[in-house]
Structure 1
Amino acid sequence: MKSIFCLLISAVFLNTGDAFLHFSKNKTQVTNDHRILANVKIYSNLAEIIQPLGKLPLEFSEDDWRDIRSDSLTLVGSNVTVTQQTITEKKQSLNNAHVFVRAPSSSNTESKFVKATLVDEKRNLVKLIDKDISKEPIYFTASSDHIVYESDPPQSKYYVNFTFDTSDAVYVSYLRSNLNWKTRYQLNLFDESKSVVLISMADIRNDGQSRVDIEHAELLGGDINLQIHSNSHWRGYNAVPEMAMARTFADAGSSHAPTISKPEEVAGLYVFAINTPFSIEGRTNYLLPMFRPHVTVERFASVSKHFHNAGASNGKAQRSYRLSADRFLSSGNCVIREYDRLVGETSLPNLAAKDKHEFTVGEDSDVTYKENVTVVSSRTFNDTNRRGSFPVEVRKESVYNVNVAFKNFKKNRPVKVEYKLNNYGQSVKLGTPNTACTQDGLTIKCVLTLAADEEKTVSYKFEHVV
């Protein structure tokens, strides 16, 4: 049993603007039932709960407390000043309770339980009369699995109290780790004449044991650095074993199904509002359809290599995609289908509107390359370096000739190929430009299209200084 303790948090002064509590204009229920959540801001790993302040002190069960960041509990409002806050753990004592305990005279083959009195629950010290040992009461320490209780033993409860000054409405705010969300995508690709379809779903997860009822919610996307649990040494947390996951798909055709609004940008983050009340059962994923963005996807075969030295190499191209959307996409897992077949999956990052994201999903065995790099010339020279510790450094300048043969073994369609040679060193300079190759920093890029069953060779020369 945890001992009773009291944590005093020093004075906190907090003033928040009307925008923070814009939901207060809506009718919200004042309740101490922590399964009824007035306003919830859900992040990728936790949720902020904001509720009208009910009767003090606030009472939390041990199950609820496991999911709460204790250092996040505070009062908010347009004009509220907190002068003192206490968090106290209390548990009804089992001392002097009547229990049944395995008698000391029990054998390995036969267990006998007798009625006893629990004298000290910390040590599992019990008092009983075992006639086989003594007519007088005896005391001994029993193993916890040898004690049987007449009723469910009481659990700890946590009480949070505030003293504060205000002339306006007051709300309590705290973070819970049992609510989170992420985006799930399905990218459907067809032939070039048909539009790309990107289906996005908001996957809201309730990791708690009990159902929660949410009046208003916001899903927040973007790069947000919030920790699930505080570092308070006194706040115990036991991980809950993984259980079978239940999934609920909201019926988009129902007039009562919640809908997610278009995102609004706030301080570099994006907010998706859900203004219809909804409930999520414990250990359940609740999926809601999100917006359908207009998406463009460019498909190509990619070859990306790192230059090491002269020599020959060969390999296969990667099946690659370049995606862009007309609105912000929050990060999430994306399953890719082409022509109604699953072809792979990827993880999309937070992607700004009209920004481009490239990804690959595996090899394309029909598109191969053979690269041959030869040295044309090489020389060393002294380079004056005024910023470094050595005023003169020896550099090596080499000129290389590169020939890359690409082959498309597909019999029925052409393929676009993008080749990159990523260099290291002091500088890189592409030789006589050609229509296929360009230079971007230390990278040389070549782009070409191969017809069905066609082979092409790309040649270029470059100067490399290390």
Structure 2
Amino acid sequence: MTAAALLLGTASAADLRIYPSFTEVREPVRATGTTLSVTLPEAAWAGLIPGTLDLEGLNFTSAVQRQEANWLATLEGKTVYLKRGDADPQPVTLIRARDLLVRDAQGRYLNARYEDLSFDVPPPLNPLTPSQTLTFTLPQAGTGTLSYLTRAVTWAPRYTLKAGTGGAQLSALADIRNGTDLAYDVKMTELYAGDVEVQGGPPVPAPYAVESRATAGALADTAAPKINSLGELRGLYRYALSTPFTLPANSVVTLPFLTPKLTSFERYAGLNTYFTPQNASGTLSRFYRLKADQRLPGGSITVREEGRIAGQTTIPETAKGAEIEFTLGSDPDVRYTRSVQTVSSEKNAQGNVVRSTYRVTYAFENGKDRAVRAEVTETVGGRRIIIDSAPARQNQAQAELRVDVPANGKATKSFTLVVDNS
């Protein structure tokens, strides 16, 4: 029986299909005999989603996973060097790698610390960490594709909205994160955005690494890949990198992503609340509303007003032309006072209120040197709801107020509400 071994601890050619919370890794394999062994470092195995290793194009009769000994185990019975205090390192024999048991020249045994040991050969990265080996038994030799899912490689878009007196622009970057000790020489890369859930394994923390721009580091010697849209796939947004690239171990590679055009853009001071017959007052929040000419994957968004940071939040997956609305916190210069007048109230024979009519009035005050659009949305619950002269609604309705408040001025607007629970 002959065997072919595949070591995934070094950079290897692969295709990556990267999703927001996991990645499918696809690597070509070739078995020259009836056994194919795949070795993965323990740190990389920790990010692998259990039950997702698969061998495509090669039939196999069994697959056995086992933990291999770490590098130090290969030195058992051999001479290493132990430093004690200020004395020069002395030769000792490594008896047992698991607990670093050594024997000195006098035949005495002791447990050493790894940092006190030195060696005649350079140790590998993570020499105390074992590896995992998966051995496939094949009916015959051939070529195929090894695939698995890992939580350790992910991607996410991040947007920047640049707003000023002349309008607004939206742009995006794509961050591709590799949280493993494995480097990937990626031949083909696809990015997927959307709601895709897989079972097993928690997300791997993002690497503590300095972000690598597409023109830096490993990408400096080649043309930076571009991200092209491949359209929609069963509700997923699909993109592809135009050229191969290297995804270093424990890194973040950042590439230019989308530059959508905004078909509409608005700023306003807003309040979203629920109806209550009680009076209230407070400040409105800074809201933004926009539409883009292409679909947008969900991600974080940073807003810059005249070059300065105005806030950060996240936006959801959004279809082409769909409205995006978000808030960046309160605006202390725009205040409101809400007063509620009960116009009428009807009770049933048991004395319970079954129908009420209210007059809700908002008084806005703008402390800015420019006019501000104020918008209020109140959600009302009830069996039958009438807002002003609009048709009656069942169970739930929304009352909306829109008013322009002049610079350093005031404005007032009201609506009438009938709640009928009879």
Q: Does 1:86 align with 2:64?
A: yes
- TM-superposition CA deviations, 1:254-309 (whole Å, max 9, x none): 98121111241011111110130111333332111123212222222212222233
Q: 2: CA distance between counterparts of 1:102 and 1:93?
A: 21
In the alignment, which residue of structure 2 is the partner of 1:188? 162
- TM-superposition CA deviations, 1:14-68 (whole Å, max 9, x none): xxxxxxxxxxxxxxxx975552232111122332111211342123334443443
Alpha-carbon RMSD across the aligned residues, in angstroms, is: 3.7
Q: Secondary structure at the match of 1:229?
A: coil
Q: Does 1:59 align with 2:16?
A: no
Structure 2 segments unaligned to the other structure (5+ residues): none
Question: How far 1:112 sits from its partner (Å)?
Answer: 9.5
The two structures have a TM-score, normalised by structure 1, of: 0.74
Q: Secondary structure at the match of 1:53?
A: strand
In the alignment, which residue of structure 2 is the partner of 1:297? 265
In the alignment, which residue of structure 2 is the partner of 1:17? none
Is the CA contact (8 Å cut-off) linking 1:51 and 1:173 kept in structure 2?
yes
Question: How far 1:129 sits from its partner (Å)?
Answer: 5.9
Q: How does 1:315-464 map to 2 (within 5 A)?
A: 315-381=282-348, 396-411=354-369, 413-432=370-389, 441-464=396-419
Q: Does 1:272 align with 2:239?
A: yes
Q: 1: CA distance between counterparts of 2:96 and 2:254?
A: 49
Q: 1: CA distance between counterparts of 2:49 and 2:76?
A: 31
The two structures have a TM-score, normalised by structure 2, of: 0.81
Question: How far 1:327 sits from its partner (Å)?
Answer: 1.5
In the alignment, which residue of structure 2 is the partner of 1:170? 144
Q: Does 1:45 align with 2:18?
A: no
Question: How far 1:416 sits from its partner (Å)?
Answer: 1.9
Q: Percent of aligned positions with the same letter in both sequences?
A: 26
In the alignment, which residue of structure 1 is the partner of 2:77? 96
Question: How far 1:379 sits from its partner (Å)?
Answer: 3.4
- TM-superposition CA deviations, 1:192-220 (whole Å, max 9, x none): xx453111111112223454321110111
* Paired amino acid for 1:420: T
**Which stretch of the first structure deviates more once superposed, 118-127 or 200-209?**
118-127
In the alignment, which residue of structure 1 is the partner of 2:111? 142
Is the CA contact (8 Å cut-off) linking 1:306 and 1:421 kept in structure 2?
yes
* Paired amino acid for 1:407: E
Q: 2: CA distance between counterparts of 1:361 and 1:317?
A: 11
Q: Secondary structure at the match of 1:361?
A: strand
Q: Mark the CA change 1:395 to 1:35 in structure 2 (over 3 Å): closer, same or farther.
A: farther
Q: Mark the CA change 1:333 to 1:101 in structure 2 (over 3 Å): closer, same or farther.
A: same
Number of equivalent positions: 400
Q: Secondary structure at the match of 2:254?
A: strand
Q: Mark the CA change 1:190 to 1:254 in structure 2 (over 3 Å): closer, same or farther.
A: farther
Q: 2: CA distance between counterparts of 1:168 and 1:161?
A: 15
Q: 2: CA distance between counterparts of 1:145 and 1:128?
A: 16
Q: Secondary structure at the match of 1:452?
A: coil
**From 69, 75, 90, the counterpart of 2:55:** 75
* Paired amino acid for 2:67: E
Q: 2: CA distance between counterparts of 1:198 and 1:439?
A: 39
- TM-superposition CA deviations, 1:338-368 (whole Å, max 9, x none): 3333222220111111111211112223322
In the alignment, which residue of structure 2 is the partner of 1:12? none
Q: 1: CA distance between counterparts of 2:80 and 2:328?
A: 62
Question: How far 1:101 sits from its partner (Å)?
Answer: 5.8
Q: Secondary structure at the match of 1:365?
A: strand
Is the CA contact (8 Å cut-off) linking 1:250 and 1:286 kept in structure 2?
no
Is the CA contact (8 Å cut-off) linking 1:101 and 1:146 kept in structure 2?
no
Structure 1 segments unaligned to the other structure (5+ residues): 1-29, 104-108, 131-136, 231-236, 384-392
Is the CA contact (8 Å cut-off) linking 2:50 and 2:200 kept in structure 1?
no
Q: How does 1:219-258 map to 2 (within 5 A)?
A: 219-226=191-198, 229=201, 243-250=208-215, 256-258=223-225
Q: 2: CA distance between counterparts of 1:183 and 1:348?
A: 10
Q: Mark the CA change 1:54 to 1:405 in structure 2 (over 3 Å): closer, same or farther.
A: same
Is the CA contact (8 Å cut-off) linking 2:207 and 2:250 kept in structure 1?
no
Is the CA contact (8 Å cut-off) linking 1:382 and 1:395 kept in structure 2?
no
Q: Mark the CA change 1:185 to 1:49 in structure 2 (over 3 Å): closer, same or farther.
A: same
* Paired amino acid for 1:85: A
